[in-house]
Structure 1
Amino acid sequence: MSPPTDGRPRKLPFVVWVLSAGTFLMGTTEFVIAGLLPEIADDLNVSVSQAGLLITAFAAGMIVGAPVMAIATLRLPRRSTLILALVVFALGHLVAALSSSFALVLMARVVTALATGTFWCVGAVVATTAAGPAATSRALGMLLGGLTVATVAGVPLGAWLGQLSGWRGPFWVLAALSAGAAAVIGRYIPADERREAPSVRAEFAALRDVRIWLTLSSMTLLMGGVLATYSYISPLLTERASIPAEAVPMVLTGYGLGALLGTTVGGRLGDRRPLATLLTAAATTTLVLLLLTVLSTSPVVTVVLVTLMGVTGFAANPALGALALRFAGSAPTLASGLSGAAPNVGIAIGSWTAGIALTSPLQQAGPPLVGTAAAALTLIPLTALTLTHATHSETPASPPQPPAAADQSVGYSTQDVG
């Protein structure tokens, strides 16, 4: 069946592109720090392992901050919240760039993560509302595309700038760009037109729907599986596949381009048949990771499989985010915040488990095997989600709406979820 329509144009609105540029900045600051750790450690007189806490602090800030800030800013106008998040984001980078104290830089990273979580959970709601029911997954795919482009382009550029100007240089640039993004959002995103004050009780009541937790579990497992493998991809490429170290960035660029393709295709397919898209993505990701575990002694095969890992692993994200918003009904903000936290939980647990597997007799084959198991486990909540869909009524859990309004507000007709 063709996807529902609400009379809005099929082309994504300009505000979605603006918000995608914001997520590009957020993604760049999350990942660029990995390439700057030695310089930061040397400048701030700490060890590289201590400097690595800047990555852990950001992840922790995202896990806790996204849902917490979703509730804390619930009654603020959405445009004002986005602008405030970018201003705080800019100030966090300024503090870090000006500081000679590791503790202060660490605190600035936590504040920056809170701003990132706020921007994501509110931006996802604004983008999907602007795009309309027929393009919910596409809009989320565009936002996730900003994060993917950050991995492909923003992170290497930031690392290069850090080599030229010192580690503080990328922080100054990110502060300036985020301040500019705040001005653009103030200009192009319309004022909030919500007629009723949002309800914190309604946001929590929406979480009673088991389908939201099945969706979040799928996010955690699938991203945990892919990033468990990606976290230790360099030793797999150089030591197991015998790929020269200087060629590793090219292989990782292929992975990033594959992830960008996956979010684009997954966003389009997810608007038509979300559950079918998710089951296919999880199954193919499991197969790709299993093949990578077994066949990664071949350089050519490994390069192909790493690229496919990006395609299949990220194809599910737009549809998962869209379903979380759909099942939350007219109280989507907290669900959006949890959608930002869930992948980071998977990344934290998956990378930790993969690190243990790397030191086991499996060696470099350990991380992709951990990823295979996590991706395979994703099929359990997705299958349960498929089975429970038929037992739920057609209207969202809370607050009740007329059937037509309910279908329009959440982005899918009930007949198009399969």
Structure 2
Amino acid sequence: MVATHAAGPGSGARAMGVIGTGGSLATVLGVPAGTVISQAFGWRGTFWSLAVAATVVAILIACIIPHDAAASGRGALRSSMSGLLSGRLWLALLACLTTSGGVLATYTFITPILTQQAGIPAAYVPAVLTGFGIGSLVGTLLGGRFGDAHPGLITILVPATTSVILLLIATVATAPAGMIGLVVLLGLFGLSANGVLIHLAVHHAGPAAPLGSALSVSAFNAGTAITTPIAGAALGTPLGIHGPSIIGAIIVSLTLIPTITLAVLRKR
């Protein structure tokens, strides 16, 4: 909410894209940095470093974030709750659930997919995951960059492309080089529309904008919680190691139902 307010009208999706890069940078830098610190100062050193960093960030927030930005969108409870009646809000939340759930249902099992399906040595898996993180960083920035002007295009193109990538991972990616390329592309496309979806949820929630923001993150988490066990169960079926990718592709493709509906409603 603070980022959207600070960015001003017409830049909400771009602001959320910038915010989303924090998560992407965490996957690229967090694990290596934590490992280096733990090797130098012991495993407790990583936690002490995080505690110091969090304290510094808290001080910066208190000094820099405008007080009126925190109050933006706050109003009477009845008025705020009325915003939850928006059908477009729930379409955006459904898209949050399926797009994140499908990608992470596959990503949860990415190590056995890389090692057993493509024959990539376990020692190289962290490097492949770093490639995923870099792709996610770039994709999140690009999704936010174009999301304000073309929200319908981004929220339709991204899940459609992601579904194809997941199907390719499940069916044709047996060579290490091909699998690595597809995993990087999955990072580039898979979650790059999330910032736009959060922005849409906030926008369509109206007076319930803070709740819309909170519910969108809850929808991402709910998608992961619901779909990951399904993908895991697929490992015990004839699909085997290909199961998580196929399940992920099906779930992500369901995102097209709410996003196409939102695009049609927006055009009308």
Structure 1 and Structure 2 fold alike (TM over 0.5) = yes
**Aligned partners of 2:73 and 2:109: how far apart in 1?**
48
Structure number having the greater helix percentage: 2
- 2:113 matches 1:236: yes
Number of the residue aligned with 1:370: 247
Among candidates 134, 138, 141, match of residue 261 of structure 1: 138
Number of the residue aligned with 1:250: 127
**Aligned partners of 1:158 and 1:287: how far apart in 2?**
34
1:301 Cα deviation after fit: 0.9
Q: TM-score, normalised by structure 2?
A: 0.94
Among candidates 167, 172, 178, match of residue 48 of structure 2: 172
State how 1:14-163 maps to structure 2 within 5 Å.
125-163=1-39
Amino acid at match of 2:25: V
1:166 Cα deviation after fit: 4.4
Among candidates 244, 260, 263, match of residue 386 of structure 1: 263
1:164 Cα deviation after fit: 4.8
1:331 Cα deviation after fit: 3.0
Any idea what the Cα deviations from partners look like across 1:24-78, whole Å, max 9, x if unmatched? xxxxxxxxxxxxxxxxxxxxxxxxxxxxxxxxxxxxxxxxxxxxxxxxxxxxxxx
**Aligned partners of 1:347 and 1:278: how far apart in 2?**
19
- Identity value in percent: 43
Structure with higher RCO (Cα < 8 A, 6+ apart): 2
Amino acid at match of 1:249: P
1:213 Cα deviation after fit: 0.6
Any idea what the Cα deviations from partners look like across 1:288-346, whole Å, max 9, x if unmatched? 11111111211111111100101111221111111111112243100010111111111
1:159 Cα deviation after fit: 3.8
Among candidates 339, 347, 360, match of residue 216 of structure 2: 339
Number of the residue aligned with 1:275: 152
The 8 Å contact of residues 101 and 228 in structure 2, kept in 1 or not, is answered as yes
Structure of larger gyration radius: 1
The 8 Å contact of residues 281 and 313 in structure 1, kept in 2 or not, is answered as yes
1:197 Cα deviation after fit: 5.8
Cα distance change, pair 160–357 in 1 and its aligned pair in 2 (3 A): farther
Kindly tell me the number of residue pairs found equivalent between the two proteins. 267
Cα distance change, pair 156–377 in 1 and its aligned pair in 2 (3 A): same
Number of the residue aligned with 1:359: 236
Among candidates 78, 90, 93, match of residue 216 of structure 1: 93
Amino acid at match of 1:226: V
**Aligned partners of 1:224 and 1:314: how far apart in 2?**
10
- 2:172 matches 1:289: no
Amino acid at match of 1:172: W
Structure 1: any 5+ residue segments left out of the alignment? 1-124, 392-418
Deviating beyond 6 angstroms after TM superposition, the runs of 4 or more aligned structure 1 residues are: none
Report the secondary structure of 2:238's partner residue: coil
Number of the residue aligned with 1:321: 198
1:270 Cα deviation after fit: 0.3
Amino acid at match of 2:50: L
**Aligned partners of 2:165 and 2:182: how far apart in 1?**
6
Cα distance change, pair 162–366 in 1 and its aligned pair in 2 (3 A): farther
Any idea what the Cα deviations from partners look like across 1:176-227, whole Å, max 9, x if unmatched? 1111111111111122265996222222111101111110110110111111
Larger deviation: 184-193 or 247-256? 184-193
Structure 2: any 5+ residue segments left out of the alignment? none
The 8 Å contact of residues 75 and 207 in structure 2, kept in 1 or not, is answered as no
Among candidates 57, 62, 71, match of residue 181 of structure 1: 57
